[in-house]
C-alpha cells in the first residue's frame, strides 16, 4: 500500500500520478513499464517516489486499488446497502454493467486488466497485488452476506467456499472477456455481462427446495 506521505498529497496530484502510471502499465505491461518514465511524466523525481511507494509493484497495486474503488466499491457499496430482496439481483446487474461501461469509456482500462492477468502467479498471490485481490474477495463476501440477510443467497454452504467459487468464476469470466473484448461489440458485451450475472445467480440462489 502507498506510504502515508502519498495519502497526504493534494488530490489532483495523486490523480495525476495514478493516471499516468495506469496508462504506462496499460501500454507496456507491468514488467516493461518504466518507473522513471512514469515519474517523469507525473512531474516527480525518482528519489521523491520512494517517499510515496515501496517499489514499482506497490505503485501498480495502488493503481489497481484505485480502479477497484471506482468501478466496484464506490458504486457497489451504496447499491448493496440499499438493496431489498426484490432489487438485489437487478442491482448486481447494475454493478456489472457499470464496470463494462466504465471500460468502454476508458479503453486503456482493458489493457491495464490484461496486464494484470499476464502477471506471474507469484506476483498475484504475494506482496502488494495479493492485497488487491483480497479486496475483491472481501467484496464477494460483502455481496454474499447482504444477499443472505435478504434471503436471496443460499446458506447451506460455507462462506469461504462460496467466496472462492465466486472469485474463481469471476476471474474466468474476466479473462475470457479481456481476450474476446475486441470482437464482441456492444451487443456481445451486454450478453456476456448478463451471462456472468446469471452464472453468479445460479451459484448463489438458495436451493429450490429451500426457497419459500
CATH code for the domain of 156: 1.10.357
- The confidence score (pLDDT) of residue 45 equals 76
- The confidence score (pLDDT) of residue 5 equals 79
- Tens digits of per-residue pLDDT, 3-27? 777 888 788 888 888 888 888 888 8
* Any domain includes 107: yes
* Any domain includes 43: no
Write the CA distances from 177 to 73, 92, 115, 143, 180, integer angstroms: 21, 18, 14, 22, 5
Say which residue, 5 or 142, is predicted with more confidence: 142
- Tens digits of per-residue pLDDT, 38-84? 888 888 877 777 778 888 888 888 888 888 888 777 777 777 888 99
* Any domain includes 34: no
Over residues 99-120, mean pLDDT: 85
Q: How many domains does the chain have?
A: 1
* Any domain includes 25: no
* Any domain includes 168: yes
Q: What burial class does residue 82 get, using C-beta atoms within 10 Å of its C-beta: 0-12 exposed, 13-18 middle, 19+ buried?
A: exposed
Distance between CA 149 and CA 116 in Å, rounded? Answer: 33
* Any domain includes 56: no
* Any domain includes 15: no
* Any domain includes 24: no
Determine contact, residues 146/89, Cβ cutoff 8 Å: no
Describe the crossing of helices 159-204 and 127-149 by its angle, rounded to 10 degrees: 60
Q: Which domain holds residue 94?
A: 61-210
Model confidence at 85, pLDDT cuts 50, 70, 90, reads very high
What are φ and ψ of residue 139, in 5° steps?
Answer: -60, -40
Amino acid at each position: 500500500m502507498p506510504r502515508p506521505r502519498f495519502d497526504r498529497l493534494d488530490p489532483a496530484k495523486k490523480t495525476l500520478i495514478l493516471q499516468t502510471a495506469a496508462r504506462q502499465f496499460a501500454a507496456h505491461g507491468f514488467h516493461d513499464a518504466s518507473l522513471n518514465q512514469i515519474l517523469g511524466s507525473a512531474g516527480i523525481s525518482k528519489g521523491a517516489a520512494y517517499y510515496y511507494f515501496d517499489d514499482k509493484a506497490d505503485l501498480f497495486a495502488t493503481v489497481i486499488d484505485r480502479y477497484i474503488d471506482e468501478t466496484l466499491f464506490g458504486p457497489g457499496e451504496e447499491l448493496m446497502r440499499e438493496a431489498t430482496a426484490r432489487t438485489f439481483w437487478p442491482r448486481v446487474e447494475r454493478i456489472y454493467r457499470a464496470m463494462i461501461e466504465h471500460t468502454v469509456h476508458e479503453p486503456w482500462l482493458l489493457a491495464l486488466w490484461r496486464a494484470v492477468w499476464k502477471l506471474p502467479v507469484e506476483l498475484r498471490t504475494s506482496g502488494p497485488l495479493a492485497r488487491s485481490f483480497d479486496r475483491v474477495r472481501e467484496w464477494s463476501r460483502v455481496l454474499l452476506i447482504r444477499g443472505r440477510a435478504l434471503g436471496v443467497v443460499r446458506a447451506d454452504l460455507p462462506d469461504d467456499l462460496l467466496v472462492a467459487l465466486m472469485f474463481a468464476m469471476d476471474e474466468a469470466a474476466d479473462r475470457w472477456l479481456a481476450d474476446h473484448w475486441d470482437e464482441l461489440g456492444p451487443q456481445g458485451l451486454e450478453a456476456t455481462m448478463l451471462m456472468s450475472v446469471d452464472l453468479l445467480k445460479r451459484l448463489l440462489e438458495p436451493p429450490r427446495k429451500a426457497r419459500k
